[in-house]
Amino acid sequence: MSTKYGKLQQQFLCCYPVNKMAWSSVKLPLNWEDQQELAIPVRRSYLGGLPQHLMHLLGDQEICTTIIQRLCGPMAENKASTGSSTYAYKHYLLEPGAHITLRESTSFVAEGTTGLCTWEAALALGDYLLQHRDLVRGKNIVELGAGAGLLGIMLKLPALQLQVGQVLLTDGSEPCVQLMRENINLNFPDTPKEQIPQAEQLNWAAVSKFPWDSYAKTDLLMAADVIYDDSQFDALLGAMDYLYSRRGGGLETLLASTVRNVDTLHKFMTQLGDSGYKVTPCANVSACASHFCRDHTAAVQIISIRR
């Protein structure tokens, strides 16, 4: 990565919104060499991402899933009919020598799930874990609603030397599990199975049917952007209750949520309290040094949950 335009290149490669890129790092006039350096190949469709603009326009406001489905569904069909791909590769450059490539959907909702692309809360939790490496060192980790698989892949990346134990990524959506496995293979070619994250289908409502005995006992649960649909709260709490009961004391959950609707988050917090959980906000989340290119428009809240 060039140091002069390193930030811009990092942002281009992970499809960061064009209007929010670090353009101030470009000092005019540009000589020929600088222009060449800035000529980074970018997908045309990413430049005009209507759903992205909508998300930014709405800011903190809660976004109705139906609107997103209506907006993104026809767009996806249209792309399919013209032969364009609805997936793109994003490259997350974290540190020198440490990068992740993910195949992700270009739509926020696709194939009946919101999990085929990476959301801000996952990026924020990734930053938080990289700032607090002791939270994951030596731990066996399970992620609920893991989507495209970014966090688990990050945790096992050899260049980051996080020294985590077993990492199990789960999601209720079959397309997400397929995508996670594809992304794991992409980032860990020729790596022994014991050293890479595992990906399995787990619907929270069916947590007791999962073959937990085939995996190491869980030390840390994590979940990003799973608190948006209150019809799923009981299932999520049921899954947590099951795992906390299995593990006994000592299990911690790190939950990262984009603050879109305060009432929705508050409702989940209340249910957590009613179920006997102790919630501690994680300090200095917004002050975390950013390894990921994050858009800070909407705040992300990270909490630690113990019982």
- Which residues are near ligand SAM by CB under 6 A? 113-115, 118-119, 121-122, 145-147, 171-173, 176, 203-205, 224-226, 232, 235
Distance of CA 12 to the CA centre of its chain: 18
Q: In the block, which residue shows the tokens 């945790």? A: 155
Which of 11/258 has CB closer to ligand SAM?
A: 258
Please identify, using beta-carbon distances, which residue of 8 and 155 lies nearer to ligand SAM.
Answer: 155
Looking at beta carbons, which residue is closest to ligand SAM? 115
Write down the least CB distance from residue 52 to ligand SAM, Å. Answer: 15
CA atoms within 13 A on the CB side of 77: 5
The CA distance from 35 to 261, in Å, is 42
Dihedral sign from CA coordinates of 92, 103, 108, 300: negative
The minimum distance between CB 23 and ligand SAM, in angstroms, equals 26
Q: Residue 154 or 251: which CB sits closer to ligand SAM?
A: 154
Q: Which residues of 21-54 are buried (b: 16+ CB within 10 A; e: fewer)?
A: beeeeeeeeeeeebeeeeeeeeeebbeebebbee
- Choose between 5 and 212: whose C-beta lies nearer to ligand SAM: 212
Which CB, 171 or 252, lies closer to ligand SAM?
Answer: 171
3-state SS assignment for residue 28: coil
Task: At 189, list the tokens.
Answer: 């070619």
CA distances from 155 to 128, 146, 251, 256 (A): 12, 13, 18, 16
Both tokens assigned to 268: 């989940």
Shortest CB 235 distance to ligand SAM, Å: 5
Residue whose CB is less far from ligand SAM, 37 or 242 = 242
Least distance CB 258 / ligand SAM (angstroms):
9
- Nearest approach in angstroms of CB 146 to ligand SAM is 6
Query: Is the backbone peptide bond immediately before 175 cis, with ω within 30 degrees of 0?
Result: no
Q: How far is CA 199 from CA 134, 167, 243, in A?
A: 24, 9, 17
How many other C-beta atoms can be found within 10 angstroms of the C-beta atom of residue 213?
7
Name which of 48, 47, 40, 46 is nearest 7 in CA terms. 40
Provide, rounded to whole angstroms, the least separation between the CB of residue 122 and ligand SAM: 3
In this complex, which beta carbon is closest to ligand SAM, that of residue 21 or of residue 205? Answer: 205
Q: Residue 170 Cβ, how far from ligand SAM at the closest point, in Å?
A: 7
